[in-house]
Structure 1
């Protein structure tokens, strides 16, 4: 893994409080294990898979996970695209619809981040806050990260966005977020990934998505323990979705 330059990040000082009670109870489905017609072998199914991990657990594991993933990916829910994956708006709309079906109602469905999203789910916070993520971990809540893959250009001090990914946050301990990563590069078997978190302190995020460019200062970067895609070098938390029942 490419090391993060010290001039670009600042290691965050974490509270020692642990929240990892349920990490072994929440599923860790691999997206390429999805079975069904027109799924593209699950290559772009990280969003419905990450969401299904939490929803299966919250619902008491009474639902067959593959069926739930296919439903979430469908046009009526997240509208997952076989080339472009799932956008933030689609993710939120899908969570809203499926949560009403599974639970009848929910208390909150909120978003922090720079990605375009429906105003009804907005917190007005464009830089995701670590404390907000940690506070979202609980027995009657779920939290998902939308990670951007970035390549760093030292001449312009810019992080160039090359793609994205969704993961399930399942806990926090020893200054690290604990995630379940749907990507096959994270392994084919159940695994709790302990991921270090840093704050970016310089530069800017650039790319073709609406909301960019923007200052990189304050954004969370996931380091050791994160299975970063290819040779991009950096994973930045573009956004966070949390559901509270």
Structure 2
């Protein structure tokens, strides 16, 4: 049974998250329904990351198994046709080895969080950014973020319902950039790690926002991490500014031969 990697982009607002759930729309469910239009199901696909409700993706990766041998371009075109009108797009599809797995073969996940700083409500970017009404101190947030880079017990920054076996993770990159966005000044938080805990990114960004606003100091973030206590975390920011932007594998499954 041939296996195919899928590079997926989606707007998370209409969905209860990536994972298929009973009686609510999900990204996984939308793609599996489209696959069933190509070949009789049921189909079960796996993804590199199970994004939460309202979270977006520009570089999610999933895999599926099909009976037929498909050309990658034709498969992506057929799926995009049957995914309408869902805000989901298959950017690329490619055959992979039978033991290749979107989740377990991944070496790194990359996330970006977009924060818009302006008093007026977001219009064109509504649902795509977290709007805060005051300027934030980027340098203070960078100083706080430095305490989080590396291998740590991230109990403080994970959801109480996180099912990961261990809270110890290695955060390889946490970059904070000031950007001139089309709707106003933005701050982008770019994070890279092999894997993340449930709500880890949103917990980190929400806490760093408190530093940028002056309510916390960078040292407060160091102490919160050391506490290894969920109660020590700052506010968890909303999901709409979060994007899964890419997944790295030992070799790029979508690279041209």
Which category of TM-score, normalised to the shorter sequence, fits these structures? under 0.3
State TM-score, norm by structure 2.
0.24
Q: Find the structure with the greater CA-based Rg.
A: 2
Using structure 1 for the length normalisation, give the TM-score. 0.25
